Structure 1
Amino acid sequence: MRAGAGRRAPARAFVVVLALVSSCGAAPVSPDAPVPRADPAWGVVDSTCAPDRLAARVPGVDVAVVEAHWDRLEPTPGVTDAGYAAALRETVGRCAAAGVRVVLGSGLQYPPDWVRALPGALVLDQAGRSPTTGAVDTVFSAAVAAAADDHLRRLVGAVGVEDLVGVRVGTSTAGELGHPGPEASGAAFDSWWAFGDAPQHGIGLAPGQVPAPLPDWIPGQRTWQGRAVTPDDARAWFAWYSGALVRAVAGRAAALRSAGYGGPVHVPAAGRGVLPRDLDAAVAVVLDTAVRDGALRRGLDYVGDLGTLAATVPGAVVDVTGLDDATAVRARRLDPPQDRCTPGDAEALVSGDAALDDWPNQRVTVAAAARAGLPTAGENPGPPGPTTGGDPDSDSEADQVRYAVDYARGCGLSAFLLAFEDDLYTGRSGITPEDYRAAIGR
Structure 2
Amino acid sequence: MSTHDADVVDVLHRLTAAGRRRLRLGALLALVSALVSALLTTTATADSGGGTIAPVRLSLLQPDVSKASVYRAAGIDMVTLELGWDAYQPAPGTTDRDYVARQVRTAEAFRSAGLGVVLDLGVQYPPAWAFDLSSATRFVDQYGTAWHGDTGTDVLNAVWEPLARQAEAAYVRQVATDFTGIPFVSVRVGGLLSGEVRLPPPTSAGHSDSMWGFDPRARAASPVSGWSPGTGTPSDAAAWVDFYLGSLADFEVWLARTVADSFPGTPLDVLMPGWGMRPGDTQTAIDALAVTGSPGRVVAEVGPGLDWARQTAALAATGLDITLVTTWLDAPSYGSSARDESPADHLARLAAQHGLPISGENTGGGGQAALDRVVAQAAALPITRVTWMSAGSLTSGGGVTLTDLRRAFPPAVAPAAPTGVTARRLDVWVVVSWQPPPTDGGSPVTRFTVSMSATGSSVTAPADSSAVLFRVAPGTSPSFTVTAANGSGTSPSSAPVTVVNGAAGGSWIVAAVPGGRLFTSPDGREFFLVSAEGVVLSHALGQGPGRRDADPAPVATTSRGELAAPPAMPAAAALDVPDAGPLAHSRPGTAVGDCRETVTTAAAAVSSAGWAATPPAQTAAGVLIDYLRLLMNAPADAPQTSGCIPR
1:35-91 deviation digits (Å, cap 9, x = unpaired)? 9312232211122333x3323435542121111110111111111111110111111
User: Structure 2: which amino acid aligns with 1:89?
Assistant: V
Asked whether 1:178 is paired with 2:188, we answer: no
2-structure distance, mates of 1:215, 1:69: 37
Q: Return the offset for 1:292.
A: 4.5
Alignment partner for residue 373 of structure 1, among 340, 344, 355?
A: 355
Alignment partner for residue 383 of structure 2, among 390, 400, 413?
A: 413
Alignment partner for residue 212 of structure 1, among 199, 219, 222?
A: 222
Q: Which one has the largest radius of gyration?
A: 2
What does 1:75-86 correspond to in 2, within 5 Å? 75-86=90-101
1:167-197 deviation digits (Å, cap 9, x = unpaired)? 11213221110111123x2335321111122
Normalization by structure 2: what TM-score? 0.52
1:386-429 deviation digits (Å, cap 9, x = unpaired)? xxxxxxxxxx22222232123123211131111101112x5451
What does 1:306-321 correspond to in 2, within 5 Å? 306-312=312-318, 314-321=320-327
Question: What SS is found at the alignment partner of 1:104?
Answer: strand
1:180-226 deviation digits (Å, cap 9, x = unpaired)? 1123x23353211111221121xxxxxxxxx21112211332x2xxx
2-structure distance, mates of 1:93, 1:367: 37
Higher helix share: 1
Q: Check 1:381–1:156 CA distance in 2 against 1; reply closer, same or farther (3 A cut).
A: same
Question: What SS is found at the alignment partner of 2:59?
Answer: strand
Alignment partner for residue 53 of structure 2, among 37, 40, 44?
A: 37
User: Structure 1: which amino acid aligns with 2:124?
Assistant: Q
2-structure distance, mates of 1:257, 1:130: 31
- Which residue in the other structure is 2:234 paired with? 230
Alignment partner for residue 84 of structure 2, among 69, 80, 83?
A: 69
Contact kept, 8 Å, 1:58 with 1:437, in 2: the verdict is no
What does 1:56-135 correspond to in 2, within 5 Å? 56-119=71-134, 120-133=136-149, 134-135=154-155
Contact kept, 8 Å, 1:41 with 1:415, in 2: the verdict is yes
User: Structure 2: which amino acid aligns with 1:301?
Assistant: D
- Which residue in the other structure is 1:431 paired with? 400
1:240-266 deviation digits (Å, cap 9, x = unpaired)? 211222221222233323334331121
- Which residue in the other structure is 1:149 paired with? 169
What does 1:162-173 correspond to in 2, within 5 Å? 162-173=182-193
Asked whether 1:246 is paired with 2:249, we answer: yes
- Which residue in the other structure is 2:346 paired with? 364
- The number of residue pairs the alignment matches comes to 353
1:309-348 deviation digits (Å, cap 9, x = unpaired)? 11136112211001113xx1xx3xx6xxx48xxxxxxxxx
Asked whether 1:192 is paired with 2:211, we answer: yes
1-structure distance, mates of 2:206, 2:315: 30
Q: Check 1:111–1:103 CA distance in 2 against 1; reply closer, same or farther (3 A cut).
A: same
Q: Return the offset for 1:161.
A: 5.5
Contact kept, 8 Å, 2:121 with 2:187, in 1: the verdict is yes
Alignment partner for residue 277 of structure 2, among 274, 293, 305?
A: 274
Q: Check 1:81–1:411 CA distance in 2 against 1; reply closer, same or farther (3 A cut).
A: same
2-structure distance, mates of 1:402, 1:44: 17
Alignment partner for residue 323 of structure 1, among 326, 329, 344?
A: 329
Runs of 4+ in 1 over 6 A off after TM superposition: none
Q: Check 1:187–1:367 CA distance in 2 against 1; reply closer, same or farther (3 A cut).
A: farther
1-structure distance, mates of 2:219, 2:181: 37
Q: Return the offset for 1:143.
A: 1.3
Alignment partner for residue 303 of structure 1, among 309, 325, 341?
A: 309
Q: Check 1:291–1:264 CA distance in 2 against 1; reply closer, same or farther (3 A cut).
A: farther
User: Structure 1: which amino acid aligns with 2:264?
Assistant: Y
Identical aligned pairs, as a percentage?
27
Q: Check 1:40–1:116 CA distance in 2 against 1; reply closer, same or farther (3 A cut).
A: same
User: Structure 1: which amino acid aligns with 2:399?
Assistant: G
Normalization by structure 1: what TM-score? 0.74
Q: Check 1:282–1:123 CA distance in 2 against 1; reply closer, same or farther (3 A cut).
A: closer
1-structure distance, mates of 2:171, 2:397: 33
Asked whether 1:160 is paired with 2:180, we answer: yes
2-structure distance, mates of 1:291, 1:93: 48
Where relative contact order (Cα < 8 A, 6+ residues apart) is larger, the structure is: 1
User: Structure 2: which amino acid aligns with 1:139?
Assistant: V
Q: Where in structure 1 are there 5+ consecutive unaligned residues?
A: 1-34, 202-210, 224-228, 340-354, 384-395
The RMSD of aligned alpha carbons is 2.2
Q: Return the offset for 1:148.
A: 0.8
Contact kept, 8 Å, 1:170 with 1:267, in 2: the verdict is yes
2-structure distance, mates of 1:313, 1:192: 31
Contact kept, 8 Å, 1:253 with 1:313, in 2: the verdict is no
Q: Return the offset for 1:306.
A: 1.0
User: Structure 2: which amino acid aligns with 1:411?
Assistant: L
Q: Check 1:235–1:40 CA distance in 2 against 1; reply closer, same or farther (3 A cut).
A: farther
Q: Check 1:173–1:282 CA distance in 2 against 1; reply closer, same or farther (3 A cut).
A: closer
